[in-house]
Structure 1
Amino acid sequence: MYIFFVDPTGPFEKALDAVCAVDREMSVQTLLTFVRISRRLSALNSGAVSLAQVAEEMDVGYSSLLRQTDCLAAGGPSVRALNLLEKVVSSQDRRSRNFRLTDRGEALMVAVADCMSEMHIPAASAEPVRINKPRGSTAANEKSRKSRKKR
C-alpha cells in the first residue's frame, strides 16, 4: 500500500479524481463492483461466469451485488443511477441480463487505466501483494457463507 501514497499528486490520486468526477458519493463497494464486472464483461455475457460467482469472489451477498449493479446502471426504486453500465436482455435466455459499458462507463475505465498506467513500480516490488481483509468468524458469517455455497 505504501506505493500509492508516495507522491501526493501521483496516478493513484488522479484515478480517484477521475472517479469523483463521475460521482463524488460513489462508495468503494460500488467502485469495486464496477471494476469487477467491467473486467469480466465477456465472461459474464457468455455465461462462463455468473453474478453469483462474482458475489462470492467479492465476499458479498448476491442481493447486495444486484443492488450495486442497479446503482451502476439505470437505478431503481430508492437506488440512484450512475449510468456506467447498461443491462440488456440476453438473446439466449430472456430471464438473464447481460451488461455493457455505457459511453460514460467506458470513459471512466479509460481514465482510471490511463492514470494507473503512469505508476512506476520498482522491479523488486513487482510481485502482487495480497491484502487479506480481517474476517470475524461469527455464526452469522458462517451461516451466510454456507448458504452462498449451496446456491
Structure 2
Amino acid sequence: MSEEEAENAWEQSKEQKRKDTPAKAEADDADDEPQSLEDAVAEAYEKIDNNDLSSNLTLRDENLAALFHGLEGANQLEDVGVAAADEINWDQEDTDTRAGVLRALVRIGLNEVDSDEDDDGIIQAGKDGRRQYYDSDDF
C-alpha cells in the first residue's frame, strides 16, 4: 500500500468514526425545527453538568501544535495571550497558559466570523444561553 493510499484509508476511517458518533444519532433523532443558539447552549450546559457531553474541545493540528510549543519554548506565549486578551477586553488571569491563550484566540476568531448584524453575536448568544441555563430549574 502506498503512502497516499494509507493516508486516504486513514482519513476514511476517521470520517466513518465521526459519522457513527452518538451526537450524530441525536441530531438525526431531533425534530427538523432549528433550535435557537441560546437554547442549544443552555441545553449543552445541562448535558455538560450531567456528564453527557465533554467540557473539553480537541484540536489536532501539527502546525499549530508546533507553533504553540515554539511560543512556549521562546517564552512568547504569554505575550500572545496578553495581546489576545487585550483585543477582546478580556481580563483573564490565565493568558500565560496554552489553554488560556487558545480560549482568547477562539473568542477573537468567533467575533471575526460572526457576520449576523441582527443580534449581538455568537459570543453574546453563548452568554445568553449560559444565563438561561443558570436561571432555569435544571441548574
TM-score, L = length of structure 1: 0.24
**Whose strand proportion is higher, 1 or 2?**
1
Which structure has the larger Rg over C-alpha atoms? 2
